[in-house]
Homo-oligomer: A and B are copies of this chain.
Amino acid sequence: MSKLRSAPTLDDVARKAGVSTATVSRCLNDPERVVTATRERVMSAVTTLGYTPNFAARVMAAKRSFTIGAIIPTMENAIFARGLQAFQEEIHRQGYTLLVSSSAYRPEDEEEQIRTLVARGADGLLLIGHDRAPRIFDFLEQRKMPTVVAWSFIPEKDTPSIGFNNRQAMKALAAKVIKLGHTRLAAISGIRQGNDRARLRIEGIKDAMEMNNLPPDSLPIIETSYEIENGAEAFANLMSQTERPTAVLCGNDVLAVGAVRQAQDMGIRVPDDVSVTGFDDIELARIINPPLTTVHVPHREMGRKAAQALIEMIETGSAGQSLELPTEIVSRQSLDRAN
């Protein structure tokens, strides 16, 4: 029958080891500063008591939490999951812990979560994309909170970004599509409001059209949220137009997978009747038939680099530096020349 006893404290350890709390604290945080004999006595008290330091108290006293917060749109998206996993591995290697929340793509929720993470004493923050209310950045700056933005690279912004040039990458892909003879393009995009990745990818398509003397305003765009089914629906929609496109450029692989499946259901052959492209290069992209031509993004590397940049900002107090990562077009079978 175990006694109802609350967790042992530093004080308990100190008493048991016959030293002061300061010494115990030093044993735990800066072992060099205490002589071996004492340290051993303290450590054995720690283990016999099963002592674990109380984090809240430590944070309060030290004004340092060794915690980094990350807010992602959703965990149900392989691209964030992968990048975040790498991010977490890197910060863990450096002695930090990760706090994640997901905002479900809702800006108000994201704002609340940012405040929560700050209140929890996060030493730094990882955010996805630059598109959010300026007051949030003001708040972060006023609090001197080291912050890094990932998945998007816009060097002009104050907040350093570790990511890739969504616009450029999509432009390159669209240029390739056009070079294959396609003139009737269409786009299926994620919701662009508050999402610079989605927004800039569409801009990229338009850039490529403009460069090749296709009127950018003629591009049919269907915006929808991140689900296979929505991609399918959008595709059906696009195909019901009188003038069918010959190439459908999707803002991400998930929507593209939906498009390809819908094509199959409608008896439309990909790429013979219509080409489809994706973006992200997640697993689904190479599993589906035909496999998707898409843009490969180095998610793991991005996560790692973002972690390094953020930790440097935290530890040196520097302003941080943006870093652009390369993307590359992966050619598979869902894109072919126009006929």
Contact = CB atoms under 8 A, between A and B. Distances in A.
Which of A56, A97, A115 neighbours the largest number of chain B CB atoms within 10 Å of its CB? Answer: A56
A4 interface: yes
B119 A52 contact: yes
**Copies of this protein chain in the complex:** 2
Nearest to A300: B76
A266 interface: no
A311 to B, nearest CB: 17
A102 interface: yes
A184 interface: no
B81 A120 contact: no
A121 B55 contact: yes
Interface residues of A, number: 49
Which of A59, A84, A139 neighbours the largest number of chain B CB atoms within 10 Å of its CB? Answer: A59
A132 interface: no
A324 to B, nearest CB: 25
A315 interface: no
A2 B287 contact: no
Contacts of A144: 4
A118 interface: yes
A141 B50 CA distance: 13
A85 B78 contact: no
A81 B115 CA distance: 24
Which of A261, A283, A288 neighbours the largest number of chain B CB atoms within 10 Å of its CB? Answer: A283
A122 to B, nearest CB: 10
Interface of A: 2, 4, 7, 50, 52-57, 59-60, 65, 74-76, 78, 81-82, 84-85, 88-89, 97-102, 104, 115-116, 118-121, 139, 141-144, 228, 257, 261, 283-284, 287-289
Given A7-B143, A55-B121, 13 more contacts: A50-B142, A52-B119, A55-B119, A76-B78, A78-B78, A89-B104, A97-B101, A97-B116, A98-B101, A228-B283, A228-B287, A284-B287, A289-B289
